[in-house]
Structure 1
């Protein structure tokens, strides 16, 4: 028994000794883990670095004084406030102290979060000039804020800073800066106590005062990068307080080497060949409607600037070989002028010359390119290389003019629109969807016309025997050219002759031919046929019956009679030769001649006073248009009737499906363009796929 116990004790002791070694290892590891400090974080690194810089500056008893709150994130780094200044930190720049007027200047420009200076790279310290102080920053163009008691804190950066250093800095001939940089177009200038340095962003050339200093700057390398160039272009445009406003997202690539930056009020486009340039507003919308920097205009070569016309105009040139520009005015919007048109326009004085501002994009007919301007037009024959002008006396000034990029692609006549300026023939699904209600309306009208025809054929068939047209009092001359011209001219121009404003061949016929009517005879396309008045009505005695002057004819397809209703005839019946070709003509010999101050209606109805269809609209393409709201019971659109120039009541927006464009009263071309559809307002025109005409 004793021996057995001894053996058990020996085995237990050996087991305990076997477990002791690993247990000791585990205990040691646990002790090391518990004793290890917590892993570092960006905030802890920033706190440690800022605290070390504060301690080195004397802590509570140093110039910064006590802490004013904890470390906080700002921009791409961190900061901490103190009673006498601030310390800013990033892992790349370290922790650096700023105070006084230099700190105030830095924060007035947006500080580390919103300025384009970056973070400080040195502690604020004395400069070379007596009594001066300075701090350098991390932005790629090496900016510095330099302070003197006499001139305050000034920013010197980029090419100006490189030239200042090359000429010896603040202790040499130029002295210290007396003001911040000033932008004059593409030239940036800065004043110093000993002179001035200017830098042209496009030509990359220095000029100086005194002039001899420029010789010392010949061949000076000025670093250039997209970020610095974009920042400089934004500063030249007024910075955060200018038209661009705040950044909208980060930079993005364009093509192989371009860069773009969006802002609340516009965009900046950069390429190594063109630099960085600002484009805003309707000029930007036009530019992007034809492809922007990846389209055939190329990158802008200068920032948007004043076009030189009062009260307002804007101008941007582009890099394509034919030297295109976009010129904007309040009256005509943004228009592209390029190639031969731009060369001739510039030769004749541009917007301030005889031709004035461009009215619309160039058009091409065969080899001839034409563009309309406020004071005339220019045409260029590509085959003969000859110019013609209107007025003609300008043509002699263009003899021998060299045309840049004569073989370059010509700008399409793109319409500015909120739908990215697509061509009318590039139909989108929205355009197709917009046609659905229009097609339904056309189908209903055609169905009604066919039913009316069958009803009237049953009731009046005895009068259409081929002999009734003779001896009915119609002399064939009632609507000759003289009488027709007096009563069927454009509703806004009693002298309209059917020709468009441009110098193209005649697009519209005047007189009876405008409606498909042969002079001296009846045609199924005449205004009367389109209005549904091609046949006489007879009473029970067989005598012709005349409708009341204020009543319209309504045909009941289910009855053998014709009713009248006290409503005006809506002349929006589509043309249908088969339905109308075999009707009798109405004798209108006894109608009074319409006055020039009114537009004639159908037979027997009084003319509408001009004031009801020609309101006093504001002039100018972009002027506000106030249109009286129509009866909500009416539809949003109406097909044009027999007179495509007369607006139905409440439908003042005219549209043309052949071009996909619409016109508002007061716009150029409104009076001369026949409508195919009338809309209540512009919103419905846009919804149905039409774009505003140039």
Structure 2
């Protein structure tokens, strides 16, 4: 008793669950339809397998047909020629007919059979032994029904629908129907029946339009192939459906358009519907070129076209180029097919074609062509989207604002700015040359008062044109940078602009500026040439010679006596720079004019004195020789010979590492362990060139 109650309760609880399973519902519905048709002795015959899923529903096979089921359409059987037609078009899984909504049954015409399907455009497969199974759907089906269907004036369908651009046509045994998808109008054969179709409501939903476009492209067996999901929203009011071989784009304004292959790739490379081409307004059509070609048009105002050929791929033609190309006959005309996208050069747009090229000047609204005689045919051509195409009278035809002021393209005035800047620079250079006493070969050096380089305020000239003194350390720094700029090459860490109004040759010198070498310098960089302009210092008598021209830092014999310190050295004591440039050293013509005061005032008729690169040491300090010995030309440093061991060259005892930016003088901790890259004459010279005391070799600072 208890067991029986439990079993009954379980049956009640499990029954709704079983009934809710789709497979169970489908099996029950299909079985009921099969039994109603006669079961095993009916037209379908015995079962062949179980119920299985197909598309959004279910199906079961029988000996002479199939039964299809969805909860929305119910279970209906199809067999024979209609089943073959249905499955040849993709059936419920890959086709666009949907599921059958009635069992296969006789039509009104003698000997006919038909099945209707669930797609939104109300398709029907109609069969007669004479015509076979034909699909009638959409606008053609609506017009056929209005004219009496299979028993009306048109009779039964004799062929399937065919597409010619925006025209879809179908032949019947008694005539023909044609519908214009763009204009929404019918034409008929016989023509007198077209009047009966005025005002006819035609199914025009997006899914039906996309399905029609797919069929026009060949359906599942065409280039689009299998559908990859349902239509999806794109843009403000558009849809796109993806297929294995392409896409269909749809808006109510443009209709459903197919793009595949390189045409689709080009379209999406410029943004697709989100780009400036807009949605396609035509599907792919034959381009009309002498060889294989395809093309599609788009909705943008300038009438763009994407044109494809095997030789040149997919190319965009638009605006003035498209207008001219169309006027000249398109790809079938003398220009032929486009070979590349248009290019712009200022106001001129140009595009090349297999038969020549077209150029358009947007300012004058004029065309030039190659061959030249084609230009005559473009006279007066209106360019899409060109505001000036109605009048090219000049500024009078330009846009004005509400107050009548010129509101045209004023931005061209910006082009004057670089010209004005160039003129100002030229004037500045001329004035500097005049005030500096001649051409300055170091005119690219930096202003000494540039805050970026820690400079001082510039010196000025008095009312009579006499240069005022420059602070000694500033002149030394300026001279040193010039010297490094001219001779060191890769050794100088930067190039810096110069003082335009300071005459460094008349200024006293004190101090020096380090920085020719530094922690960032490498051993390779140290090998760059370092010379004075037009002069190469001889290599020292001792030490290795690697063919490098070194900085001249000594003083030649026969020059004026040196003051005690560099700060006391008058600039008049240096030889004329021209003598230095030729590699000779001569005393001043007027040695009595030497002014040993810290500030030198040059007489008006005399040109400003020149520096002596052997004494005026900036970035590279000089070497003081023994007063009892003849003074020889010597360099601040020499490069270490990796094969010479650790023995210092004569006169260069200070070791330095360019990679570490450190130096070690004899007696310094770690001196013996350091492998030198550079030998300096003194520790002062090493420090003047930007090196820091090394400390112990191998320390973290090294």
Q: Match for residue 356 of structure 2?
A: 376
- Is 2:22 aligned against 1:38? no
Q: 1:283 aligns with which of 242, 258, 263?
A: 263
Q: Match for residue 210 of structure 1?
A: 190
- Is 2:281 aligned against 1:301? yes
Label 1:234 to 1:451 Cα distance change in 2 as closer, same or farther (>3 A).
farther
Contact 1:260 1:269 in 2 (8 A): yes
1:619-661 per-position Cα deviation (integer Å, ceiling 9, x unaligned): xxxxxxxxxxxxxxxxxxxxxxxxxxxxxxxxxxxxxxxxxxx
Label 1:467 to 1:234 Cα distance change in 2 as closer, same or farther (>3 A).
farther
Q: How far 1:461 moved relative to its partner?
A: 4.6
Q: Match for residue 351 of structure 1?
A: 331
Q: 1:73 aligns with which of 41, 45, 53?
A: 53
Label 1:97 to 1:340 Cα distance change in 2 as closer, same or farther (>3 A).
same
1:193-233 per-position Cα deviation (integer Å, ceiling 9, x unaligned): 00111122222222222222222222222111221111111
Label 1:135 to 1:448 Cα distance change in 2 as closer, same or farther (>3 A).
farther
Contact 1:341 1:371 in 2 (8 A): yes
Q: 1:366 aligns with which of 346, 371, 391?
A: 346
Label 1:83 to 1:31 Cα distance change in 2 as closer, same or farther (>3 A).
closer
SS state at 1:48 partner? helix
Contact 2:296 2:307 in 1 (8 A): yes
Q: 1:196 aligns with which of 176, 196, 200?
A: 176
Q: Match for residue 154 of structure 1?
A: 134
Q: How far 1:77 moved relative to its partner?
A: 0.8
CA distance in 1, matches of 2:185, 2:307: 28
SS state at 1:302 partner? coil
Contact 1:160 1:197 in 2 (8 A): yes
CA distance in 2, matches of 1:407, 1:277: 30
Q: Match for residue 242 of structure 2?
A: 262
SS state at 2:15 partner? coil
CA distance in 2, matches of 1:359, 1:69: 59
1:256-314 per-position Cα deviation (integer Å, ceiling 9, x unaligned): 21000111221111111111111111111111111101211110011112212233222
CA distance in 2, matches of 1:558, 1:289: 60
Worse-superposed segment, 96-105 or 139-148: 96-105
Q: 2:121 aligns with which of 129, 136, 141?
A: 141
Q: How far 1:126 moved relative to its partner?
A: 0.6
CA distance in 1, matches of 2:172, 2:318: 42
Q: Match for residue 64 of structure 1?
A: 44
Q: 1:252 aligns with which of 216, 232, 237?
A: 232
CA distance in 2, matches of 1:150, 1:309: 41
Q: How far 1:387 moved relative to its partner?
A: 2.0
CA distance in 1, matches of 2:85, 2:332: 42
Contact 1:279 1:304 in 2 (8 A): yes
Label 1:172 to 1:307 Cα distance change in 2 as closer, same or farther (>3 A).
same
CA distance in 1, matches of 2:140, 2:355: 44
Q: 1:404 aligns with which of 369, 375, 384?
A: 384
CA distance in 1, matches of 2:183, 2:641: 85
1:18-61 per-position Cα deviation (integer Å, ceiling 9, x unaligned): xxxxx99x997885444555221111111111111112112222
Q: How far 1:362 moved relative to its partner?
A: 2.0
Q: How far 1:381 moved relative to its partner?
A: 2.4
Label 1:34 to 1:286 Cα distance change in 2 as closer, same or farther (>3 A).
closer
CA RMSD of aligned residues (A): 3.1
Gap regions ≥5 residues in structure 2? 389-520, 537-545, 553-579, 584-638, 643-702
Contact 2:37 2:43 in 1 (8 A): yes
Q: How far 1:406 moved relative to its partner?
A: 2.0
Contact 2:89 2:219 in 1 (8 A): no
Label 1:452 to 1:169 Cα distance change in 2 as closer, same or farther (>3 A).
farther
Contact 2:94 2:220 in 1 (8 A): no
Q: Match for residue 69 of structure 2?
A: 89
Correspondences of 1:518-529 after superposition (within 5 Å): none
Q: 1:459 aligns with which of 521, 544, 547?
A: 547
Corresponding residue pairs, total: 413
Higher relative contact order (CA 8 A, sep 6+): 1
Label 1:288 to 1:210 Cα distance change in 2 as closer, same or farther (>3 A).
same
Contact 2:73 2:101 in 1 (8 A): yes
Q: Match for residue 99 of structure 1?
A: 79
CA distance in 1, matches of 2:218, 2:248: 13
Q: Match for residue 328 of structure 1?
A: 308
Contact 1:455 1:558 in 2 (8 A): no
Q: TM-score, structure 2 length as denominator?
A: 0.55
CA distance in 1, matches of 2:121, 2:64: 29
Q: TM-score, structure 1 length as denominator?
A: 0.55
Q: Match for residue 622 of structure 1?
A: none
CA distance in 1, matches of 2:299, 2:165: 17
SS state at 1:244 partner? coil
1:320-375 per-position Cα deviation (integer Å, ceiling 9, x unaligned): 11111111223322211111111111111212222222222222333332222233
SS state at 2:547 partner? helix
Label 1:53 to 1:398 Cα distance change in 2 as closer, same or farther (>3 A).
same
Q: How far 1:146 moved relative to its partner?
A: 0.4
Q: How far 1:377 moved relative to its partner?
A: 2.3
Q: Match for residue 434 of structure 1?
A: none
Q: Match for residue 493 of structure 1?
A: none
Q: 1:186 aligns with which of 162, 166, 175?
A: 166
CA distance in 2, matches of 1:28, 1:265: 61
* Structure of greater Rg: 2
CA distance in 1, matches of 2:288, 2:582: 71
Label 1:467 to 1:136 Cα distance change in 2 as closer, same or farther (>3 A).
farther
Contact 2:290 2:332 in 1 (8 A): no
Q: How far 1:450 moved relative to its partner?
A: 6.0
CA distance in 2, matches of 1:30, 1:60: 35
SS state at 1:38 partner? helix
Contact 2:336 2:354 in 1 (8 A): yes
Correspondences of 1:312-327 after superposition (within 5 Å): 312-327=292-307
Contact 1:323 1:405 in 2 (8 A): no
Contact 2:121 2:137 in 1 (8 A): yes
SS state at 1:222 partner? coil
CA distance in 2, matches of 1:172, 1:222: 19
Q: How far 1:451 moved relative to its partner?
A: 7.2
Q: Match for residue 320 of structure 2?
A: 340
1:425-467 per-position Cα deviation (integer Å, ceiling 9, x unaligned): xxxxxxxxxxxxxxxxxxxxx99996775499962759x9977
CA distance in 1, matches of 2:353, 2:375: 15
CA distance in 2, matches of 1:346, 1:171: 47
CA distance in 2, matches of 1:558, 1:100: 100
Gap regions ≥5 residues in structure 1? 1-22, 409-445, 469-556, 561-694
Contact 2:48 2:61 in 1 (8 A): yes
Q: Match for residue 174 of structure 1?
A: 154
Q: How far 1:174 moved relative to its partner?
A: 0.5
- Is 2:208 aligned against 1:228? yes
